[in-house]
């Protein structure tokens, strides 16, 4: 970001003819210039709107030594200016104030997009004398503009010491407002995106919860029918009920995955970390897939080095992440192939990998592999069941542990999914 030095008439003149001005005066101007840059830097240091506005109000108050300051933002819905941060202003006034475009000084600034310095307050038709207990001698009001669009207004009343605001004060405030507006807009957009994302996660979470109970009762009823509790079934009836059962199970898996993901994304996942041996976790996960691998005559093996590798991790979440990878390796591999799980201590980190000789993944598909609901054409064509959420969840679970996941793969040769975890997160 660059400041427009041309605007600072006084500074320009001083720089042209240093000898005619005192050194102190020159230094004061340079300091002022540095302060403006610092304010812009400070204001941009956060993406939290309230924090951003507070820093801005504090720094302007310090820099210009003012009695009152109010930062107003334009409500995009009502098109009214609302005070979002103030100093030296009665809180109830700040809360109530709503200014329409064109109304009073701030409304005029927002409508015209121009700055204003007023010293002859009483004679100006734009000045509304609402707060009778307070007397304004001089005021500065400047627009907060992003690409010519006014997003708010900064108002400043009265110098703390005697005297009135001068053109130079207005220029300082203008320079700050130009830089601050971008930071404010960024923070505002960031908060909007965060709010939308939260809404989306809550919506998914609520809907999934609501779907769960009726689904459980459908599942139980179908199981009772299949167990012939209410009478014997003919072959066709059994066949159709089996289809229903399989699809109910698929739907349950999808709902569980959606709930898991919504929970992780909204930051509501409880991490129950323990100092555990990750080798045991991997061995248990491998044994729980022996039957599934056996059904396809897949050799499922595990290699570890050394036999005990302690990590500070949530055992259930690690099991879930590793199980997703083993499940995929088996699902996307042909009969009579092999899947190998390796757990290796690499000093500060532990590396866990799952390798298969399955269908593999092409280079252009690797990048979107961890996206939600992403199922590759091969998986769909081969009629392998899945929700397309497993890898997205796995990635989140690994990241919750401060780890990283990567994949190497060649079509028709196989894939190797590998994640690394820091052994002791407490040291991070």
Does residue 357 bind ligand ADP (CB under 6 A)?
A: no
Task: Tell me, rounded to whole angstroms, the distance of Cα 409 from its chain centroid.
Answer: 30
Contacts of 190 (CB under 8 A, 6+ apart): 47, 49
CB nearer ligand ADP, residue 351 or residue 378 = 378
Structure tokens that stand for 228 in this block = 């012939």
- What are the respective helix, strand and coil percentages of the chain, to the nearest 5? 50, 20, 30
Segment interacting with ligand ADP, rule: CB under 6 A, options 31-39, 132-140, 353-361, 419-427: 353-361
Alpha-carbon distance 392 to 369, whole Å? 8
Q: List beta partners, residue 407.
A: 417
Q: Show contacts with ligand ADP in window 289-328 (CB under 6 A).
A: 324, 328
Segment interacting with ligand ADP, rule: CB under 6 A, options 7-15, 171-179, 345-353, 371-379: 371-379
Q: Among 142, 170, 391, 400, which residue sits at the site for ligand ADP (rule: CB under 6 A)? A: 391
In degrees and rounded to multiples of 5, residue 76 shows phi and psi of: -65, -25
CB nearer ligand ADP, residue 182 or residue 339 = 339
Q: How many CB atoms lie within 10 A of CB 154?
A: 26
> CA dist 390 to 69, 243, 386, 396, Å?
52, 23, 8, 10
CB nearer ligand ADP, residue 202 or residue 382 = 382
Q: Among 104, 107, 386, 422, which residue sits at the site for ligand ADP (rule: CB under 6 A)? A: 386
Alpha-carbon distance 140 to 154, whole Å? 8
Does residue 98 bind ligand ADP (CB under 6 A)?
A: no
Q: Among 40, 153, 173, 379, which residue sits at the site for ligand ADP (rule: CB under 6 A)? A: 379
Q: Among 359, 398, 405, 421, which residue sits at the site for ligand ADP (rule: CB under 6 A)? A: 359
CB of 390 vs ligand ADP, minimal distance in Å = 3
Q: Among 218, 259, 369, 418, which residue sits at the site for ligand ADP (rule: CB under 6 A)? A: 369
CB nearer ligand ADP, residue 177 or residue 333 = 333
Q: How many CB atoms lie within 10 A of CB 425?
A: 16
Question: If binding means CB under 6 A, how many residues of this protein chain bind ligand ADP?
Answer: 23
CB nearer ligand ADP, residue 144 or residue 379 = 379
Does residue 329 bind ligand ADP (CB under 6 A)?
A: yes
Pairing of strands 349-356, 414-422: antiparallel
Alpha-carbon distance 46 to 36, whole Å? 17
Alpha-carbon distance 317 to 289, whole Å? 17
CB of 217 vs ligand ADP, minimal distance in Å = 25
- Residue of minimal CB distance from ligand ADP? 386
Does residue 388 bind ligand ADP (CB under 6 A)?
A: yes
Q: In degrees to the nearest 10, what's the CA dihedral of 328, 332, 337, 339?
A: -20
Contacts of 21 (CB under 8 A, 6+ apart): 14
CB of 416 vs ligand ADP, minimal distance in Å = 9
Does residue 233 bind ligand ADP (CB under 6 A)?
A: no
Does residue 376 bind ligand ADP (CB under 6 A)?
A: yes
Structure tokens that stand for 9 in this block = 């008439």
Q: Which of 406, 12, 395, 4 is nearest to 177 (CA)?
A: 4
Does residue 387 bind ligand ADP (CB under 6 A)?
A: yes
**Residues that bind ligand ADP in the complex, under the rule CB under 6 A:** 324, 328-329, 332, 356, 358-361, 369, 374-376, 378-379, 386-392, 415
């Amino acid at each position: 970001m660059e400041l427009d030095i041309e605007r600072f008439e006084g500074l320009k003149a001083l720089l042209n003819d240093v000898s005619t001005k005192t050194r102190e005066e020159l230094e004061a101007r340079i300091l002022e210039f540095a302060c403006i840059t610092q304010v812009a830097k400070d204001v941009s240091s956060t993406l939290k709107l309230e924090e951003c506005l507070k820093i801005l109000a504090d720094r302007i108050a310090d820099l210009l030594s003012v009695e009152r300051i109010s930062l107003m933002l334009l409500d995009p819905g009502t098109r009214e200016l609302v005070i979002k941060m103030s100093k030296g202003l009665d809180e109830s006034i700040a809360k109530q104030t709503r200014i329409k475009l064109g109304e009073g000084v701030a409304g005029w600034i927002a409508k015209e997009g121009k700055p204003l310095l007023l010293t002859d307050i009483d004679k100006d038709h734009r000045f509304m004398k609402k707060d009778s207990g307070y007397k304004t001698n001089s005021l500065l009001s400047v627009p907060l503009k992003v690409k010519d669009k006014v997003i708010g207004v900064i108002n400043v009343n009265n110098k703390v010491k005697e005297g009135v605001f001068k053109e130079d004060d207005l220029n300082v405030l203008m320079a700050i407002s130009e830089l601050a507006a971008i930071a404010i807009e960024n923070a505002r957009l960031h908060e909007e995106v965060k709010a939308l994302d939260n809404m989306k996660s809550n919506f998914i979470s609520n809907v999934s919860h609501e779907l769960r109970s009726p689904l459980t009762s459908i599942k139980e009823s179908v199981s009772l029918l299949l167990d012939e509790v209410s009478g014997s079934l003919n072959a066709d009836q059994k066949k159709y009920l089996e289809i229903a059962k399989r699809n109910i199970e698929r739907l349950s898996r999808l709902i569980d995955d959606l709930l898991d993901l919504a929970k992780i994304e909204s930051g509501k996942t409880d991490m129950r970390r323990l100092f555990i041996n990750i080798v045991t976790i991997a061995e248990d996960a491998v044994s729980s897939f022996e039957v599934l691998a056996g059904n396809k005559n897949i050799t499922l093996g595990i290699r570890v080095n050394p036999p005990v590798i302690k990590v500070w991790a949530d055992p259930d979440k690690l099991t879930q992440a590793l199980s997703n990878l083993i499940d995929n390796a088996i699902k996307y591999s042909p009969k009579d192939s092999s899947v190998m799980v390796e757990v290796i201590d690499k000093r500060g980190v532990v590396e866990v990998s799952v390798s298969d000789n399955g269908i593999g993944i092409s280079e252009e598909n690797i990048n979107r592999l961890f996206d939600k609901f992403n199922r590759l054409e091969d998986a769909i064509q081969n009629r392998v069941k899945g929700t397309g959420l497993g890898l997205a969840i796995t990635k989140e679970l690994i990241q919750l542990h401060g780890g990283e996941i990567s994949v190497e793969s060649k079509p028709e040769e196989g894939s190797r999914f590998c994640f690394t975890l820091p052994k002791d997160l407490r040291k991070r």
